[in-house]
Chains A and B, each alone.
Chain A
Amino acid sequence: MLIGDWITVIVSAVLIGYLFHTLWSHQHAAKVQIRLGNKIYATYSLNQQRTVHVHGPLGDAEIHIAQGKVRFARSPCRNQYCVHQGWLSHTGQVAICLPNQVSLELIGEKKPYDSLNY
């Protein structure tokens, strides 16, 4: 084989390894699913910089998506448990604002679990 073949093989192997790690591993989530009440409000890719406003029963919740992670930045609820949860970045992580009925769940290729006990 020529040196070019070797380069192709090695580059492909590294690329496949990298893609496998980022897309198949359950460590880092790919998307955030935002729910409002009983409905799925929207699903966004985490690979972007974006602010989302969701109008719950109490008012406007502000959700920040920032390159692989997401958080409640502002919420009209009293206790602010949802805001205090901070940044979420792994598949399966959830932040729920019960008073305002808005929830975030991180979804990816492989969920480490089906449901969360809390």
Chain B
Amino acid sequence: MRKWLFSLSFIAILAAGAFIFSTYSREPLYHRQSYIFGTLVDISIYGEPDARASLLTNQIFSDFQQLHDQLHAWKPASSTQPSELGALNAAFARGRQPVAISPRLAAMLNDATALSVRSQGMFNPAIGQLIGLWGFQRDEFSAVDINDGSIRKLVNARPQMTDIVIKGNTAYSSNPSVKLDLGGYAKGYALDRAAEYLRRQGVKNALVNIGGNIIALGRHGDTPWRVGIQHPRKPAAIATLALDDGWAIGTSGDYQRYFMLNGKRYCHIIDPATGYPVQHTQAVTVLIPPQANAGVLSDVASKPIFISSAGNKAKAASMLGVQYFMVIDQQSSIMLTAAMARKLEWLDSDVKNKTHVKLVTLP
């Protein structure tokens, strides 16, 4: 009987110890979310007092909200005033009369134009009319009547970023079919701004996630920040990877914004050359090493790879200097670069055991 008591109290002491350890080891991690840019924004800050982390997060959220109001492609900033982008689009449609734009928007458009040229027009924020025609300039998407004639007309009008002429603080378009939609650029731009702001404020460790696009500062305590990559067809992560200081990751997928029509999936990623949503690819993930515009590249660089056919994906990646990428095609086969493969830790058991999954590693 005494021995039983002894064993039981020993176990009880162990349990109490474990409990106390778990209560006292709460780490200095601040975490908050908000809905901006029509998506979920999620910020983690490690190693700052909660009060300071909260102030910094408020500042970032309000900056994002301003960007959102400035750059919204279809919603006015208020009931009487269009967004700055909306006003510019209206001017482009009217003709060649230059209108004033802010230095910030001018810088963004110059940068987006350079990236569009480098991607040979596959990243093309000038096709706002096509995006609208397919019904993706709405808060919620539903199937649209596909009008092949209208699509052909818009493709033949060839709206391009190089049609936009920026001189000083004015801009006009030499092509009235140009309608800007920065949906594939603004979130990345916002990531770079947030990272720069946090660095300037002396924050060493943070993780900023805007609708799935993520940039990392520093680490999560003793270990790097870890990021899960969503499986395009399962409610779980397919793999995880360490996102080191200054790195950014972005995914273009056909599973976040799409509608189904007659059993076919129509996603929001539209090939500017054909005018139709891309249907051969489920997801493209790019990983961008530290550089001044890592956030922008994490947003932009996945699009040309997504749009290109299987044989041309590697070439599209090289246009924007992307070395780390993973493609999941419509058969759920996975193709990735060797550099990317070294970064990933697979979570998905089908991929781990190589069952029903084709895995191709590019040299």
Chain A residues close to B by CB (< 8 Å): 2, 4-5, 8-9, 12, 35, 37-38, 77-79, 81, 85-88, 90, 92-93, 95-96, 98-99, 101, 103, 111-118
* Cβ B7 vs Cβ A116 within 8 A: no
Give A2 to B74 CA distance when docked, in angstroms.
Answer: 79
CB distance from A40 to the nearest CB of B (A): 9
Give A88 to B207 CA distance when docked, in angstroms.
Answer: 24
Enumerate the 3 nearest inter-chain pairs by beta-carbon distance, A residue then B residue, closest first.
A118-B230, A118-B212, A113-B228
Choose among A4, A103, A117 the residue that contacts B40 (Cβ–Cβ < 8 A).
A103
Choose among B39, B142, B230 the residue that contacts A98 (Cβ–Cβ < 8 A).
B39
Among B214, B228, B256, max chain A CB count under 10 A is at B228
* Cβ A85 vs Cβ B226 within 8 A: no
CB distance from B40 to the nearest CB of A (A): 6
Give A115 to B34 CA distance when docked, in angstroms.
Answer: 14
CB distance from B14 to the nearest CB of A (A): 8
* Cβ A78 vs Cβ B230 within 8 A: no
Tell me the residues in window 295-313 of chain B with beta carbons closer than 8 Å to chain A beta carbons.
Answer: none
Give A85 to B231 CA distance when docked, in angstroms.
Answer: 11
* Cβ B11 vs Cβ A92 within 8 A: no
**Given A12-B11, A90-B236, A99-B139, are A35 and B33 neighbors across the interface (CB < 8 Å)?**
yes
**Given A12-B7, A85-B235, A98-B35, are A114 and B44 neighbors across the interface (CB < 8 Å)?**
yes
* Cβ B226 vs Cβ A113 within 8 A: yes
Choose among A4, A78, A117 the residue that contacts B251 (Cβ–Cβ < 8 A).
A117
Whether B68 sits at the interface, judged by CB under 8 Å, is: no
CB distance from A103 to the nearest CB of B (A): 7
CB distance from B282 to the nearest CB of A (A): 12
Whether B175 sits at the interface, judged by CB under 8 Å, is: no
* Cβ B213 vs Cβ A115 within 8 A: no
**Given A4-B4, A8-B4, A99-B139, are A116 and B259 neighbors across the interface (CB < 8 Å)?**
no
CB neighbours of B34 from chain A (8 A): 37-38
Contact indicator per residue, chain B 193-213, by CB within 8 Å of chain A (1) or not (0): 000000000000001010111
CB distance from B281 to the nearest CB of A (A): 15
CB distance from B42 to the nearest CB of A (A): 6
Give A103 to B34 CA distance when docked, in angstroms.
Answer: 11
Choose among B40, B214, B220 the residue that contacts A96 (Cβ–Cβ < 8 A).
B40
* Cβ B7 vs Cβ A8 within 8 A: yes
Whether B3 sits at the interface, judged by CB under 8 Å, is: yes
* Cβ B35 vs Cβ A118 within 8 A: no
Whether B285 sits at the interface, judged by CB under 8 Å, is: yes
* Cβ B237 vs Cβ A112 within 8 A: yes
CB neighbours of B101 from chain A (8 A): none
CB neighbours of A85 from chain B (8 A): 235
CB distance from B327 to the nearest CB of A (A): 15
CB distance from A19 to the nearest CB of B (A): 9
* Cβ A115 vs Cβ B42 within 8 A: yes
* Cβ A78 vs Cβ B33 within 8 A: no
* Cβ B226 vs Cβ A99 within 8 A: no
Among B33, B44, B141, max chain A CB count under 10 A is at B33
Choose among B32, B209, B211 the residue that contacts A38 (Cβ–Cβ < 8 A).
B32
**Given A86-B235, A103-B40, are A116 and B3 neighbors across the interface (CB < 8 Å)?**
no
Give A95 to B35 CA distance when docked, in angstroms.
Answer: 14
* Cβ A114 vs Cβ B40 within 8 A: no
CB distance from A95 to the nearest CB of B (A): 7
CB distance from B53 to the nearest CB of A (A): 15
Choose among A38, A87, A99, A118 the residue that contacts B33 (Cβ–Cβ < 8 A).
A38
Name 19 interchain pairs, CB-CB below 8 A, sorted by A: A8-B7, A12-B11, A35-B33, A37-B34, A77-B140, A78-B141, A81-B256, A85-B235, A87-B235, A90-B236, A98-B39, A113-B227, A114-B226, A115-B42, A115-B214, A115-B227, A115-B228, A117-B213, A117-B229
**Given A4-B4, A117-B249, are A99 and B140 neighbors across the interface (CB < 8 Å)?**
yes
Tell me the residues in window 41-55 of chain B with beta carbons closer than 8 Å to chain A beta carbons.
Answer: 42, 44
Give A98 to B36 CA distance when docked, in angstroms.
Answer: 10
CB neighbours of B4 from chain A (8 A): 4, 8
Give A56 to B354 CA distance when docked, in angstroms.
Answer: 41
Known: A116-B228, A118-B211. 15 other contacts (CB 8 A): A2-B3, A8-B4, A8-B7, A37-B34, A90-B236, A95-B235, A112-B240, A113-B240, A114-B220, A115-B207, A115-B214, A115-B225, A115-B228, A117-B249, A117-B251
